[in-house]
Structure formats: C-alpha cells, structure tokens
Amino acid sequence: MPKYFPYKKIKYGGQYVPETLMPALLELETAYEKFKKDAAIQTRFKDLLHHYAGRPTPLYYAENLSKKLGCKIYLKREDLLHGGAHKTNNAIGQGLLARFMGKKRLIAETGAGQHGFATAMIGAFLGMETEIYMGVEDIERQRLNVLRMKACGAKINPVEIRPGIGTLKDAVNEALRDWVTNVRTTYYLFGTAAGPHPYPTMVRDFQRVIGQEIKQQIKHHAGSLPKVIIACVGGGSNAIGAFYEFINDDVGLWGAEPGGKGIKTGHHGAAINCGCDTILHGSLSKALCDEDGQIKEAYSISAGLDYPGVGPEHVYLSQTKRAKYFPITDAQAIAGFKLLSQTEGIIPALESAHAVALAVEYAKKCQPDDIVVINISGRGDKDMEQVAKYL
C-alpha cells in the first residue's frame, strides 16, 4: 500500500498528523491490510454492495444528450445507488472495517450531507453510535440530508468557525479533534480520497468498483473502451474510483474542479489548477493558499466541492499528465444541471453537474463515434431548494 505518490522530488500523501494520532493511523494501516486478506469479510462487503446498496449501477446510453452534444454519451449511474450517491461504497467498506477493528462509535465529516448520510445509514445497519460533523452553511443548504441523517439516528454536530460560517474543511477539523480525543473507541469514517495515509488509498480501493463496472459495461454495450471518462473532483473519491481501472489504458481521464464564480475572482475551489503544495488534513497535496502559505477558504455553489484541498493521488495524476483537471464555474454547472434534467429526465447532484458541464466542453471537439462516460456521482434531490431560483 503506497504511503506516497511521488512526483520528481515531491512525495504527495504521507502522514502529517499530531503524534497523538500516529498510533491510530498505524493501527488502521495494520487492520486494513488484514481486512483486505480476510476472505469472509470481503465476501460480506461484495454481498452488501450488491444486496444492500444495489450494485452494479447501470451504465446508461444517454441517447438524447448524445444527439444534442454530437458524440456517444454514457452515464455511470451512481445516483441510483442506495443513499443517492457513490459515498455508500466507501461507507460500507469502512463501516465493516470499523467493526472488524472492534470500534463502537463512528464519526464522520460531511459537506453535501451525502457522506454523512451514507455513514448514518451504515451506522444504523451495524448498530453503532454515529456522530456527524457538518458546517453551519452546509446544514442550511443541504437540509434534506440533515433530516435523512437524523432519521437514521445519527447525531449532527454543527461546526461554526465564525457566526454563520462553517463548511467541509471546518467539519474535517472538528472530526479530527474528536478522533484524537476518543481514539480508542472511535473510528473516523473519512469520506474522500484525501487525509493522511492510509485513507486516500483505502477510499480509492472502496470506490474503484465504479471503474471496474464501467470497464465491463462499456465493453459489453459499445465493444470498446471510451475516449474519455469525466468526473467531478471535490476531495476526489468518485473521480479516482472511476479513473483507477483505466490508468494503464488509452483512455482520457478528465476531472471537473469547482471553478465557483470564476478563477479570476478568487472565489472557487480549484485546488489542482490554482493551489500550492501544502499540508492540509494530514497529507501533502495541493490546496488553496494565501501569500503566507495559510489555507484559504474555498467557494463553490456545491457543498460537496466546497473544499480548499484535494486528494494526493489526483495531484500525482495531474503532475504526471495522466489526468487533466479543468475548472467549471457555478454558472456552467447550473447549465449542466438543467441540460441533463431536461434532455434525459435525470436530475444530477450539483457536484455531478460539474462533470456534465465539462462533458459539454469536451464534446465540442468530438467526432460522432467518440465515446464519453460521465460519472453521475449522485442525484440532485438534495439540491432542489438551492437551484429553485434558476428553474
């Protein structure tokens, strides 16, 4: 299991945490190695992905959108997964790992509420006490998911760094504080492919089923691999899950970063395009910084992409030029949201709408037979109140 993703002299990833957390990370690393080799638990994981979560999710040929954009568009329907987003894959995997380690309590951070809800679901299923940290701004803009978490019996801990201010970064900080204090009983179920090692690798492993299925399904439907796979990038879990199986293939890997109000305005979350090399939440990666190297606030219309950092493996893929990452503005994402809803009757999450918008850009240079796969990471019900004014 690689601790680092090396590029020239820089080693992205690693474990940059207070000494008090090191034993917990080492315990996690060791347990995960055992978990991977335990045949019974791996069978249980696959069984739950199938019967509880509803995998495999369909790969749907979007005929109307294809006609409109002038190439062959397939949608990987993670929006149809139980819970409404890809986050369920990782929550089931880490939930089982927590149990395997004998932990009694789950904690998690959440932005869009999808990871919080996935953790609440699995906490209820496993009969574990579950607490979710969530920024006050996100509690306001993702109210439906807050109610869904409560319905599953999870406790929500609002995080407010200044009056009315608090998003995903702040929720991660609070969850880390809780973990340091309660490390013996508590498992920190991290929601994205970032954070200290082994989280980026572990979350990728739990999400790579997305790409494995895409590969099988596209060969079956289209008889060849796609020209490109497009996914949105917050911390990077749905994107690395969709990309990983294709790393050694001749397939383009394109990530949509949150371009917010536009890169020039400074109000965005495009960590790969605009970030500096720095440490955030326990790993060396790229994150938005000011002139003094302090982490800057991110901004995105979509709570799940409103994060100043990104997972280290994406930085590695970008630096080695294996994958490309493009900022997509709020306005483009809203246009993508409406386009998919109105051509196919599929309402994407605002996060996934960034990937749709990037596909619109990509399609401008495509030939009619080019195959494009868009990972629809989640469904848009949670965003309806927020987009109401654009409808």
Ligand X SMILES: Cc1ncc(COP(=O)(O)O)c(C=O)c1O
Active site residues: 87, 109, 377
Q: Does 145 bind ligand X (CB under 6 A)?
A: no
Residue with tokens 């401008």: 364
Is there a contact between 239 and 314 (Cβ–Cβ < 8 Å)?
A: yes
237 touching ligand X, by CB under 6 A: yes
Q: Which is nearer to ligand X, 170 or 366 (CB)?
A: 170
Is 142 an interacting residue with respect to ligand X (CB under 6 A)? no
Q: Which stretch binds ligand X (CB under 6 A): 93-101, 152-160, 174-182, 235-243?
A: 235-243
Nearer to ligand X, 49 or 305 (CB): 305
By CB under 6 A, name the one of 57, 186, 285, 377 that touches ligand X: 377
- Residue choice 233, 288, 363, 371 for contact with ligand X (CB under 6 A): 233
Using CB under 6 A, which of the segments 172-180, 284-292, 324-332, 348-356 binds ligand X? 348-356
Backbone phi, then psi, for 83, in 5-degree steps?
100, -25
Locus of tokens 């109140």: 385
Residue 114 binding ligand X, by CB under 6 A = yes
How wide is the angle at C-alpha 111 spanned by C-alphas 105 and 114, nearest 5°? 70
Angle between helices 87-100 and 39-51 (to 10 degrees): 150
User: What gap in Å lies between CA 113 and CA 151, rounded to an integer?
Assistant: 13
State yes or no: residue 111 binds ligand X (CB under 6 A): yes
How many CB atoms are located within 10 Å of the residue 22 CB? Answer: 12
Provide Rg for the chain, Cα atoms.
19
Q: Does 336 bind ligand X (CB under 6 A)?
A: no
For residue 351, state whether it binds ligand X (rule: CB under 6 A): yes
By the 10 Å C-beta count (0-12 exposed, 13-18 middle, 19+ buried), 261 is classed as middle
Among 238, 283, 300, 319, indicate the residue that binds ligand X (CB under 6 A): 238
Q: Which residues contact 205 (CB under 8 A, 6 or more apart)?
A: 36, 93
Q: Is 352 in the site for ligand X (CB under 6 A)?
A: yes
Q: Which of residues 182-211 bind ligand X (CB under 6 A)?
A: 192
Minimum distance, C-beta of residue 2 to ligand X, in the bound complex (Å) = 19
In the complex, least distance from residue 210 CB atom to ligand X, rounded to whole angstroms: 10
Q: Per CB under 6 A, does 260 bind ligand X?
A: no
Give yes or no for residue 115 binding ligand X (CB under 6 A): yes
Q: Judged by CB, which is closer to ligand X: 226, or 269?
A: 269
* Residue-by-residue DSSP string for 310-373: --HHHHHHHHTTSSEEEEEEHHHHHHHHHHHHHHHS--B-HHHHHHHHHHHHHHTT--TT-EEE
Q: Does residue 234 interact with ligand X by CB under 6 A?
A: yes
Q: Are strands 228-232 and 371-376 parallel, antiparallel or unpaired?
A: parallel
Q: What's the CA angle centered on 78, arms 129 and 273, to 5 degrees?
A: 95
The 71-110 site mask, x for binding ligand X (CB under 6 A), equals: --------------x-------------------------
> Taking CB under 6 A as the rule, which mask of x and - marks residues 277-306 in contact with ligand X?
---------------------------xx-
What is the total count of residues that contact ligand X (CB under 6 A)? 21
**Residue 255 has which token pair?**
């990530």
Please identify which residue in 69, 214, 349, 366 interacts with ligand X, judged by CB under 6 A. 349
> What is the rounded distance in angstroms from the CA atom of residue 286 to the CA atom of residue 289?
9
Give the residue, chosen from 13, 226, 235, 309, that forms a contact with ligand X under the rule CB under 6 A.
235
| Site residues for ligand X per CB under 6 A | 85, 111-112, 114-115, 192, 232-239, 304-305, 349, 351-352, 377-378
